[in-house]
Amino acid sequence: MFLCYGGNRLLLHTMAAALAHDSPKYRGSLICCNPRTSVTDRSPSSSTSGCVSADESYDSNYIPKSIANKKLKIHSSATKEDIEKAINQCKELILNSSQCSDERKWLVRYLVELRLRLEDLKDNEGQTRVKVSIKGHHFEQQVNPNNRKQYCDHCSGVIWSIVQSSYICTDCGYLCHYKCIDHICRVCAHVVMTEKGEFDMNICPERGLAAQDYKCAECETTLTFKDAWNDPRLCDYTGLYYCTTCHWNDQFAIPARVVHNWDWEKRYVSRLAYQMLSIAWSRPYINIENINSKLFSFIAELEWVHKMRKDLEWMRRYLCACTEGTTLLSPLFVQLGDVNKKYSMSHLQAINDGSLETELTELTEVCRTHITNCPLCSGKGYLCEVCSNNEVLYPFDSGAIMCEKCNSMYHRGCWLRKGQTCLKCTRIDERNKSTEKENENLHSDYDIDKFVDTSIGPLSETI
């Protein structure tokens, strides 16, 4: 039992081996911390020693009832002296506890956490940095971390949130240990997506390991299929290979597959791609008309939403000029009533689920009711020149059609009956032709050749 409080290095290695089972580095892999042991042989109740357990359901914030009143928990802003005092108290409790009990197991885990926290403070001479800026990240120290297990994006190790300092990027959510913050090599995903301003629309543009010089695309770790501990993992979004530390087998829907094939199956992506897609999920980066316009003819819901977006564009012109209509400009209206016709991945997912179509139908009905009943908005309607009835037409009416040249409105039946010919455009063309003839006649009446005697030679010859 002297290993629990005497052999620091051996205990740390033992804990590292026990926690390797739960690390996202080996998520979805066929190996575990012991190369000779299969993952399928592991059970939730298995333990690596009499004191250290690798239980999957272990919560670092849980305290056994027998020692709950000992006040062992320390604040994340504790000083070096506070941690050393807690370590000595934890050693005494371990000696007084029964062997292989739940109380001793918890105390051993907590002792390791305290020593890790103490090492962090020693590296920075007892002072912790609250904010750090590096590689485009804006890190802030986690003061009140949540109860779920957290893992470092740099080393993929467990972050002991109770006593171990950790930092999180406020832009992309990059999470790392205090000791790892000066060694990160990943640029902030928020910076990358903001500079690109679009998704990669090539489906898994794989180039191969040879093009990467057999190194990880992020940390440049040597990759080989002979090493079962660090097998190359392909990112379906970037088409690049990553090591197990930079690729945790996270799954995400790929924008290129959605736009080209309407394929919403989630595929494995790297940590960088996962953060990039998560950040840009609600950003309107996708112009379907330019990338794959044929998709509208295959997805009826997408075509209907696209038609309603055009109606919202016309409604926006009415509502922006009305003081009461501006209250109807909801966030959804502002997102989809724009002119750029771009979609975000969240919009496309809502179309696939059918929720966006329902929301847009309700929104257009509310806006239509206001425009047709408002004295100011209804006064900007149109009348059909063919039938000349009193029905007011609007550009967003399904039974009306607008001339692309002069913006005149007609009933669809009247438009077809007149051979799809605009009466206003015909009058304009006739007026232009008559004006051109008058100009020609005016020019011919004042032709200067009539006032010049062509029989007289040049002035130099007569002289």
Q: Give residue 132's pLDDT.
A: 79
In order, the DSSP letters of 138-152 are: EEEE-SS--SS-EE-
In order, the DSSP letters of 334-391 are: HHHSSSS--B-HHHHHHHHHTHHHHHHHHHHHHHHHHHHH-HHHHTT-B--TTT--S-
Three-class SS state of 69 = helix
Domain chopping of the chain, boundaries:
2-123, 131-183, 189-283, 290-378, 383-444
**Phi then psi dihedrals of residue 289, to 5 deg:** -60, -35
| Distance (Å, whole) CA 415 – CA 407 | 13
- Strand 137-141 relative to strand 150-151: parallel, antiparallel, unpaired? unpaired
Rounded to the nearest 5 degrees, what angle is found at the Cα of 397, between the Cα atoms of 396 and 402? 75
| Distance (Å, whole) CA 119 – CA 377 | 69
Q: Give residue 50's pLDDT.
A: 31
114-158 tens-digit pLDDT: 777 777 666 656 556 677 788 889 898 887 666 678 899 998 888
193-207 tens-digit pLDDT: 988 889 999 999 998
Q: What is the dihedral of CA 91, 94, 96, 101, to 10 degrees?
A: 170
Rounded to the nearest 5 degrees, what angle is found at the Cα of 279, between the Cα atoms of 275 and 284? 140
431-458 tens-digit pLDDT: 888 888 877 777 665 555 555 555 555 5
Token pair for 396: 């967003």
- Sign for the CA dihedral angle at 201, 285, 195, 182 comes to negative
pTM: 0.67
Q: Which residues pair with 411 in a beta bridge?
A: 400
Contact criterion met (CB below 8 Å) for 424 and 406: yes
Spell out a b/e string for 316-328, using b for 16 or more CB atoms within 10 Å of the CB, else e: bebbeebeebeeb
Per CATH, 131-183 and 189-283 having the same topology is answered no
| Distance (Å, whole) CA 376 – CA 363 | 20
Q: What is the pLDDT along the chain (463 residues), one digit of tens a residue?
A: 333 434 444 444 444 444 444 567 656 554 433 332 333 333 333 333 333 333 333 343 456 666 665 566 665 566 778 888 888 888 888 888 888 787 887 788 778 777 777 776 666 565 566 777 888 898 988 876 666 788 999 988 888 776 677 899 999 999 998 888 888 889 899 989 988 889 999 999 998 889 999 999 999 888 888 766 678 999 999 999 999 999 999 999 999 999 999 999 999 999 999 999 999 999 999 999 999 999 999 999 999 888 888 888 888 888 888 888 777 887 777 777 665 688 999 999 999 998 888 888 888 888 888 888 888 888 888 888 788 777 888 888 877 888 878 878 888 888 888 787 888 888 888 888 888 887 777 766 555 555 555 555 554 444 4
Q: In this structure, which CATH number among 3.10.310.30, 3.30.750.24, 3.30.40.10, 3.90.180.10 belongs to the domain 189-283?
A: 3.30.40.10
CATH 3.30.60.20 assigned to domain 131-183? The reply is yes
| Distance (Å, whole) CA 212 – CA 6 | 45
